[in-house]
Amino acid sequence: MQRDRVDIISKVPAITLGFWIIKILATTLGETGGDSVSMSWLGETTPEAGAGGLNGYLVGSAMFGVALIVLVWLQVRARSLNSWLYWATIVASTTFGTTLADFCTRSLGIGYPGGSLLLLATVLLSLFAWHRSVGTVNVNTITTAKAEAFYWMTITFSQTLGTALGDWASDDFSEGGWGLGYGGAALLFGSALAVLAILYFTTKVNRVILFWAAFILTRPLGATVGDFLDKPIDKGGLALSRPIASLVLAVAIVALILLLPQRPGGHPGGTEART
Residues 103-147 pLDDT 10s: 888 788 788 888 889 889 999 999 999 999 999 898 877 778 888
Choice among 15-24, 30-39, 226-235 with the minimum mean pLDDT: 226-235
Phi-psi category of 115—alpha, beta or left, where left has phi over 0 and alpha has psi -120 to 50?
alpha
CA 216, CA 155: separation in Å to the nearest integer? 8
Q: Domain range holding 76? A: 2-44+54-259
Contact assessment for residue 207 and residue 200, using Cβ atoms and an 8 Å cutoff: yes
Q: What is the pTM of this model?
A: 0.87
Q: Is residue 164 part of a domain?
A: yes
DSSP single-letter state for residue 270:
S
Question: Is 259 exposed, middle or buried (CB count within 10 Å of its CB: 0-12, 13-18, 19+)?
Answer: exposed
How much is the pLDDT for 266?
A: 60
Residues 6+ apart with CB under 8 A from 203: none
More confident residue, 15 or 23: 23
Contacts for 181 with CB less than 8 Å, ≥ 6 apart: 170, 236
pLDDT of residue 106: 79
SS (H, E, C) 121-181: HHHHHHHHHHHHHHCCCCHHHCCCHHHHHHHHHHHHHHHHHHHHHHHHHHCCHHHCCCCCH
Q: Residue 14: inside a domain, yes or no?
A: yes
**Coil, strand or helix: which one is 264?**
strand
Identify whether 265 is part of a domain: no
Across the strands, what pairs with 13?
Answer: 264
For the ranges 43-57, 222-236, 247-261, the lowest mean pLDDT is seen at 43-57
- N-term to C-term CA, the chain: 23
Domain-located, residue 160: yes
* Residue 107 DSSP class: I
Q: Between 246 and 111, name the one with better pLDDT.
A: 246
Q: Which of 182, 176, 140, 167 is nearest to 273 (CA)?
A: 140
Q: What is the pLDDT of residue 268?
A: 43
On average, the pLDDT of the chain sits at: 85
The verdict on residue 271 lying in a domain is: no
pLDDT at 39 over 50: yes
With respect to residue 266, please indicate whether it lies within any of the assigned structural domains: no
Kindly state whether residue 211 falls inside one of the protein's structural domains. yes
The domain total for the chain is: 1
Q: How sure is the predictor about 2, in pLDDT bands with cuts at 50, 70 and 90? A: very low
pLDDT higher than threshold 80 for residue 1:
no
